[in-house]
Amino acid sequence: MAEATLKVFSTLGLAGVLREIEPRFAQARLATTMLEVALLPSAVWMERIRGGATADVAILLADSIDALAAAGILRQGRTDLARSLVGIAVRAGAPRPDISSVDAFVATMRAAKSVALSGAGASGLYFAALLPRLGIADEVMAKATVIPSGFTGELVRRGEAEIAVQQVSELKAVPGIDIVGTLPAGIEGVSVFSAGIFAGSGRKEEAEALIGMLAAEEAGAIYAANGLEALF
C-alpha cells in the first residue's frame, strides 16, 4: 500500500510529545501514513494559516483553535490535550536562582546578567505582559535576547544567556540545561494546548486517529515526562 503523509502544524510546546507519539502512530497505521510535523509558536502559525497555509491537524493554544474554527478554517470541536506552565532554566550545573516567591523572582530577574525570551511563543507574550506588572520591564528587556522562534534554552546551553524563560515542556526539549522551576504562585503563566482538524483535510480518519492517540489515557505519562499536565 502506498505511504501517505499526515501534515501537522504544532506549537513547540508539544514537540517532545509528538516525537514519542510519532513511531507509535506509524506502527498503528501499519506505516501507511507517516507524520510530517512542523513546529512554530502558535502566534506564528495563526499568521501563516490565516495567510493560506494549510495542513491536516493543528495543535495550538486553545483560543487559537477556537478562532480558526470560528473562521471555518478548522472543523468545529477541539480536543484539549495539555496544560502547560512557564518556567525558567539555567545552564547545567550553574547555581539555581531563587524563584520561590514573587519577590524572590523579581530579585532574580534584576540580578540576572542576561535573559532569553520567546518573541512569538505563548510564554514570551505572557512574560512581556507580566514584566510591567512587576515594575521591571525596562531593566529586564534591556538585557534580554528575544528569539522569533525556537527554544530559548539553546541560548543558555551555549552560554549566550544566563536565564531562559519558556514553557517547561519547551525547556525540557533542550539538553544541557537545568530547569529551576515554574513561575511562583500569583504570577504563574498557564496555557492550554488543543488539537483541531483542518476543514479542507482529505485525511479526516487519520487526523482523528492521531488526535485520539494524543488524547488516550496511556499517553498521560508521555505528557508528564515532557513537563505537561494531560487534560484527558
CATH number reported for the structural domain that contains residue 175 in this entry: 3.40.190.10
Q: What is the model's pLDDT at position 17?
A: 96
Work out the average pLDDT over 168-182.
96
Q: What is the pTM of this model?
A: 0.87
Mean pLDDT of all residues in the chain? 94
Could you give the percent of the chain with pLDDT greater than 70?
98
Question: Would you place residue 27 in the very low, low, confident or very high pLDDT band (cuts 50, 70, 90)?
Answer: confident
Decide if pLDDT at 2 tops 80.
no
Return d(Cα 201, Cα 51) in angstroms, integer: 17
What is the pLDDT at residue 92? 98
Whether residues 54 and 134 fall in one domain = no
The span from the CA of 198 to the CA of 82, in Å, is 20
Q: What percent of the chain has pLDDT over 90?
A: 90
Q: For residue 3, name the pLDDT band (cuts at 50, 70, 90).
A: low
> Do 167 and 93 share a domain, yes or no?
yes
Q: Which residues pair with 215 in a beta bridge?
A: none
99 lies in the same domain as 75: no
Answer yes or no: do 167 and 126 share one domain. yes
Task: Classify residue 35: in a domain, yes or no.
Answer: yes
Asked whether residue 113 is domain-assigned, the answer is: yes
Do 168 and 119 have their domain in common?
Answer: yes
Question: Do 43 and 62 reside in the same domain of the chain?
Answer: yes
Torsional class of 106: left (φ above 0), alpha (ψ -120 to 50), beta (otherwise): alpha
Is there a single domain that holds both residue 178 and residue 97? yes
143, 162, 182 - which closes a domain: 182
Question: pLDDT confidence of 4, banded at 50, 70, 90?
Answer: confident
pLDDT digits (tens, 9 = 90+) for 71-81: 999 999 999 99
89 and 170, same structural domain?
yes
Structural domain includes residue 99:
yes
Specify burial of residue 137 (Cβ count, 10 A radius: 0-12, 13-18, 19+): middle
Q: Number of structural domains, the chain?
A: 2
**Containing structural domain, residue 130:** 84-182
- Whether 188 is in a domain gets the answer no
If you average pLDDT over residues 92-117, what whole number do you get? Answer: 97
pLDDT given at position 33 = 83
